[in-house]
A and B are shown apart, each in its own frame.
Chain A
Amino acid sequence: MTADWTVRGTADVESLEIALLLEAVYQAYGYDFRGYSRGSLRRRLVRRMEVEGLKSLSALQECVLHDPACMKRLLLDLSVNVSSMFRDPSFYLAFRTKVVPLLRTYPFVRVWNAGCSTGEEAYSMAILLREHDLYDRTRIYATDMNQTVLDQARAGAFPLGKMQEYTSNYIRAGGTRAFSEYYVANGRNARFDSVLSDNIVFAEHNLVTDRSFNEFHVILCRNVMIYFDRSLQDHVLGLLHESLTTLGVLAIGLKESLEFTSHADCYEALDSSQRLYRRVR
């Protein structure tokens, strides 16, 4: 019998290459993407491979292992994400009416914005809490796995061209001021008032590999766990759960759900369509 040396279909070789690459990244650098949903991960890896002028994901693995700068670029691909201020205005509107009254009963409020990307969500939350006179006694811990996006977030500057969209979001989110009060134009950027970042701490934290680091009254983790497979979602939900006070509020993305997860029965909906939950046990 002669061996059949053809491999069974290009995508099967590719999924093997992806598994090996993720293992290499984990062992060499400690970033663990092995439990991420493969579809969008594959697209990002292939894009990086193409931009680097490489022919295969095996070649990308070699590049990543021998050149930390290549790993840095890949990490940025895997963490740069679309975010916007007051994304899903209906969510912020519900937060104003359903969560703000609860927060008034606390002398001090700790908010964790997990997976904050370039900071749009944290600044939106700072604006909202300020308008309800809660910001002075609030601290927002905004974390992401990537230092580079955090540096951008710290700068508090977003493209001026986005301000029209953000203003419209802000108004639909129940904002009552002139949105332009919060920033000054600076070249192509809108620089946000530094008062807003006074109570935001930006820090590196990896939801997959790092531990709980504080106890919070509110946790926002929106559109982050959609990148994880079911079992990683369960793991991360466990971490969030551990980090949330009893009766604390958990917010997830509008197309995510707690249903069918290991922690479903620990939460009660404050507003189920806006994915606002309260920890009850």
Chain B
Amino acid sequence: MTTHELVVMGASWGGLAALGLVLSGLPRDFGAAIAVAQHRGVEPADAVLADALARKSALPVREVHDKDPIVPGWVHMAPSDYHLLVERGGTFALSTDPREQYSRPSIDVLFESAADAYASRVVGVILTGANPDGAAGLARIRRRGGFAVVQDPATADRAAMPEAAMARAGADEVVALSEIAPLLTRLCGRVPATEQARP
């Protein structure tokens, strides 16, 4: 039985390549839902980003619309210029609240809401980036009993974000980029396709 039902991932500078690599390593029957906040400008357009990642991944990649359900086995992307939040009851919410740490979507906003809603059933993953967004969110995930993964800064395009996360939150695992997908698969297990709800 797996206890982790949701993986939240945050990435900034260099994140697109890193996300592509993580997603390409996840099996088609991956056992949890994934939600991603990737910092960017309004470019690339949401659909372009989702398509680029979908080509690398065996899992469906979708840009989130307000109140979309959280679907196991799907990769849910925060749209540009909106915060992505996890609500209790298995749905997402979006908001146009002010930027946090100069960012919208903000990784802290995603992670903290996921910690509140999923407690010990969430895994937080901090990837490459040049700012400290996500550190406070990862700390909240750990306080609520969730699992914290940080990309080994030595393998990150930009080390500042993983370093800030380790300094503020610590981590349950610090692993090389190439090891993240296998670790997530161990943590979240695999689900036979028929058991996955695919509306």
A binds B: yes
Tell me, yes or no, whether A257 is within 8 Å of chain B by CB. Answer: yes
Q: Do residues A40 and B145 form an inter-chain contact, with CB atoms below 8 A?
A: no
Closest to A10 in B: B143
Q: Do residues A227 and B95 form an inter-chain contact, with CB atoms below 8 A?
A: yes
Query: In the assembly, what is the distance between CA of A228 and CA of B88, in Å?
Result: 13
Residues in chain A near residue B85, CB distance under 8 A: 37, 39-40
Instruction: Give the size of the chain B interface in residues (CB under 8 angstroms).
Output: 28
Partner of B97, one of A10, A81, A257: A81
CB distance from B96 to the nearest CB of A (A): 5
Residues in chain B near residue A9, CB distance under 8 A: 119, 144-145
Q: Do residues A11 and B144 form an inter-chain contact, with CB atoms below 8 A?
A: yes
Q: Can you list, as one digit per residue, whether each of A160-192 has a CB less than 8 Å from chain B (1) or not (0)?
A: 000000000000000000000000000000000
Tell me, yes or no, whether A229 is within 8 Å of chain B by CB. Answer: yes
Tell me, yes or no, whether A139 is within 8 Å of chain B by CB. Answer: no
Tell me, yes or no, whether B149 is within 8 Å of chain A by CB. Answer: no
Q: Do residues B66 and A82 form an inter-chain contact, with CB atoms below 8 A?
A: no
Residues in chain A near residue B67, CB distance under 8 A: 226, 229-230, 233
Partner of A40, one of B83, B91, B119: B83
Q: Do residues A42 and B94 form an inter-chain contact, with CB atoms below 8 A?
A: no
Residues in chain A near residue B82, CB distance under 8 A: 255
Partner of B116, one of A15, A81, A229, A257: A15
CB distance from A207 to the nearest CB of B (A): 16
Query: In the assembly, what is the distance between CA of A227 and CA of B82, in Å?
Result: 12
Q: A42-B116, A257-B65 known; A82 and B93 CB under 8 Å?
A: no
Tell me, yes or no, whether B86 is within 8 Å of chain A by CB. Answer: yes
Q: A9-B144, A39-B85 known; A256 and B113 CB under 8 Å?
A: no
Partner of B87, one of A39, A223, A255: A39
Q: A15-B116, A230-B67 known; A37 and B97 CB under 8 Å?
A: no
Interface residues of A in 219-278 (CB under 8 A from B): 223, 225-227, 229-230, 233, 253, 255-257
CB distance from A86 to the nearest CB of B (A): 14
Query: In the assembly, what is the distance between CA of A75 and CA of B96, in Å?
Result: 17
Q: Can you list, as one digit per residue, whether each of A35-71 has a CB less than 8 Å from chain B (1) or not (0)?
A: 0011110111000000000000000000000000000
Query: In the assembly, what is the distance between CA of A38 and CA of B92, in Å?
Result: 11
Interface residues of B in 88-119 (CB under 8 A from A): 88, 91, 93-98, 109, 112-113, 115-117, 119
Partner of A226, one of B93, B109, B119: B93
Closest to B113 in A: A39
Q: Do residues B86 and A257 form an inter-chain contact, with CB atoms below 8 A?
A: no
Query: In the assembly, what is the distance between CA of A81 and CA of B99, in Å?
Result: 11
Q: Do residues A43 and B66 form an inter-chain contact, with CB atoms below 8 A?
A: no
CB distance from A172 to the nearest CB of B (A): 11
Q: Do residues A38 and B96 form an inter-chain contact, with CB atoms below 8 A?
A: no
Query: In the assembly, what is the distance between CA of A259 and CA of B157, in Å?
Result: 40
Q: Do residues A43 and B109 form an inter-chain contact, with CB atoms below 8 A?
A: yes
Q: Do residues B79 and A43 form an inter-chain contact, with CB atoms below 8 A?
A: no
Residues in chain A near residue B113, CB distance under 8 A: 39, 42
Q: A39-B85, A40-B95 are in contact. List 17 more A-B contacts (CB 8 A).
A: A9-B119, A10-B143, A37-B85, A38-B87, A38-B116, A39-B86, A42-B113, A43-B112, A82-B96, A225-B66, A227-B95, A230-B91, A233-B67, A253-B66, A255-B64, A256-B65, A257-B65
A-B contact pairs, 6 of them (CB 8 A): A9-B119, A40-B85, A229-B87, A253-B66, A255-B64, A255-B66
Query: Could you tell me which B residues sit within 8 Å of A by CB distance?
Result: 64-67, 79, 82-83, 85-88, 91, 93-98, 109, 112-113, 115-117, 119, 143-145
